[in-house]
Amino acid sequence: MVKKHSQIKNKEQQKFVVSKRLSIFNYQFPLIIFIFALLLYSNTLHHGYVMDDGVVITNNQFVMEGVSGIPKILSTEMWHFQNINLGYYRPLAQITFAIENEFFPGNPQVSHLDNILLYGLTGFFLCILLMNLFKNSHPMLSFIATLLFIAHPVHTEVVANIKSRDEMLAFLNLVIALLFFLRAYKNGKLDLRFLLFSCLFFYLALLSKETSMTGFLLAPLILYFSGKESIKKNLLRAVPFLGVILLFQIQKYVMIGTFSRVVSEDILNFPYAAANAQFPSAFLIFLWCIKLILLPHPLSYDYAYNQIPAAQFSSPAVWFGIMLFIAFLVFSFIGLKKKSPAVFGVSFLCITLIPALAFVFLRGGIFAERILYAPALGFSMVLAFLFLKITKAEAGFKSLVLSPKSIPLHIILVLFSIKTYSRNKDWKDNLTLFAKGAETCPDSYHTNVTYAWESVLAGEAEQNPEKKKEYMTNAITYYQKGLAIYDKVAADWYNLGVSYSHLGKIDETVKAYEHTIALNPKHLNSCYNLASIYLGKKDSPNSLKYFLMAYQSDSAFMDVSFKIGLNYQIMGNPKSAIPYYESYFRKNPNDRNVITNLLIAYKALNNTEKINYFMSLPVK
């Protein structure tokens, strides 16, 4: 009986080893991951440019120049064409956009295809990295963890949004760098060739996004989990990564003239700095990160002011976040000796969240789903480990697919995949994306006003009167919601006025334009439009007041000089009207209206010479 039990046990161990050999020494699992990633995001192929895509692609002059613009991209801050300098140096993604534009100009479908391929490659190399890192663990661990990572819905912003390719390239290059780094110290001996390759891909990761600096901490972590050397010794082995970081920082300074940039006070984009609440808010954001990784619903493209309000230490949520963060650190520290995949997952999660928490703590910046792109791997590792430990699942792909023990995993993967596939549809165009954002994050100023503005654009392009009315009504609703959260942006009040004017609500239009001018007296369109409304109401004094304000900002704006002259003439002051009429006439010598009005004005002043001159003009 004992002998039979021993034979069964040996047979199971043999099966385990064979399965492990299959998973490690061929690429069937990485290829499955690659194909799965492509299928999961296949419905983004026909999407257009959305959100910030215009900033980094269509409105970026150097990207639009194609390959010839690459040298300029290498010496330009990321937000250069927005007249903003945040000290961001991320040229690699923009170089890929320039190459795409060289061969496929203005084609977002190609960019979406490339994003999907890059995501598939990320899954491919990540699976290989984990299989090499945890080759002594359950043979299905790495495959399951990568599968969960690829399916995780929180990644939709990075993959479905072309602009977020910087995040994807950073992680992909970092994974490859870590894979080469692991190979460089295989069996405890240094292979300089692989170390150089590792440094090269780490450099490419840094050129993609500065947050890749966490690679300096991840490199010794993976060496520690794969070998027998101490953390201290593995940290010393990662010193070449510090050299690469230094090289990158020197290049950044030479190219854009700064290592970092002090951000001016901006409550909308850096709300926690404005409220002097960076430290407690950082732990509140940490809590949000964990919540969305565990339960990725609902999702939004924006979490700006005031969706996650600034927090103080009096908030229970802040203390819960602090205690949870400490618990993660203690768990990682105490569990290091065991080298459990769960400990690796929690450690990976904490390390890759450092840039996001530092962004809140140092700059007071906002939360975004893309910051969870790399940390989601830590969660996936823990979940895969717990699944295998609790279910004691057998080794082998067939068992994973068919065994009843795998039902919990199947449910999670199906739910993740459904959520991801459906969330992809929201990224089809701006109107769809912003509508969903306003729904899921109703307390964000930004989600409300961007949806309102997109509704204005859709309404102005709409030919059907009923649909136009619907769009404009929608715009008013969401501008009102946004302005209830923050009412200091003149453009919002102006666009609210435009929306009211399309619906013929004159009194509301006037109030909106007056709010605009109170915030920005030089707002040309508001001054001109408000003056035109008063002119239509035969209120010449108010009409003149706002036309003069527009004229002071830009004397050549539309027909403002003619309208000033007209108001003076209506008010019985032809002498004051003439200089403005003359100014308009010099630029529009064939305008019948200005010639007629000049004749009337000069007749009122009995100026025969001018009367004869203007009567002699051949008006076309």
Name the strand (E) or helix (H) holding 545: helix 540-553
Q: Tell me, what DSSP letter sits at residue 265?
A: P
Gap between the Cα atoms of 366 and 301, Å rounded: 12
3-state SS, one letter per residue, for 529-589 = HHHHHHHHCCCHHHHHHHHHHHHHHCCCCCCHHHHHHHHHHHCCCHHHHHHHHHHHHHHCC
- Which of these, 576, 574, 616, lies nearest to 597 by C-alpha position? 574
535-620 shares the fold of 444-520: yes
| Cβ pair 308, 273 in contact under 8 A | no
Gap between the Cα atoms of 21 and 117, Å rounded: 27
Would you place residue 435 in the very low, low, confident or very high pLDDT band (cuts 50, 70, 90)? very high
Residue 514 has pLDDT above 50, yes or no: yes
Angle between helices 278-294 and 375-391 (to 10 degrees): 50
pLDDT of 605: 93
Gap between the Cα atoms of 6 and 264, Å rounded: 71
End-to-end CA distance of the chain: 113
Would you place residue 263 in the very low, low, confident or very high pLDDT band (cuts 50, 70, 90)? low
pLDDT of 276: 81
Gap between the Cα atoms of 313 and 316, Å rounded: 8
Would you place residue 262 in the very low, low, confident or very high pLDDT band (cuts 50, 70, 90)? low
- Which of these, 328, 322, 334, 394, lies nearest to 361 by C-alpha position? 322
Would you place residue 619 in the very low, low, confident or very high pLDDT band (cuts 50, 70, 90)? low
Least confident interval from 355-359, 399-403, 434-438: 399-403
Gap between the Cα atoms of 332 and 351, Å rounded: 11
| This prediction's pTM | 0.91
Which residue type does 295 have? Answer: L
Domain boundaries, the chain: 2-424, 444-520, 535-620
CATH of domain 444-520: 1.25.40.10
Mean pLDDT, rounded, for 25-48: 93
CATH architecture of 535-620: Alpha Horseshoe (1.25)
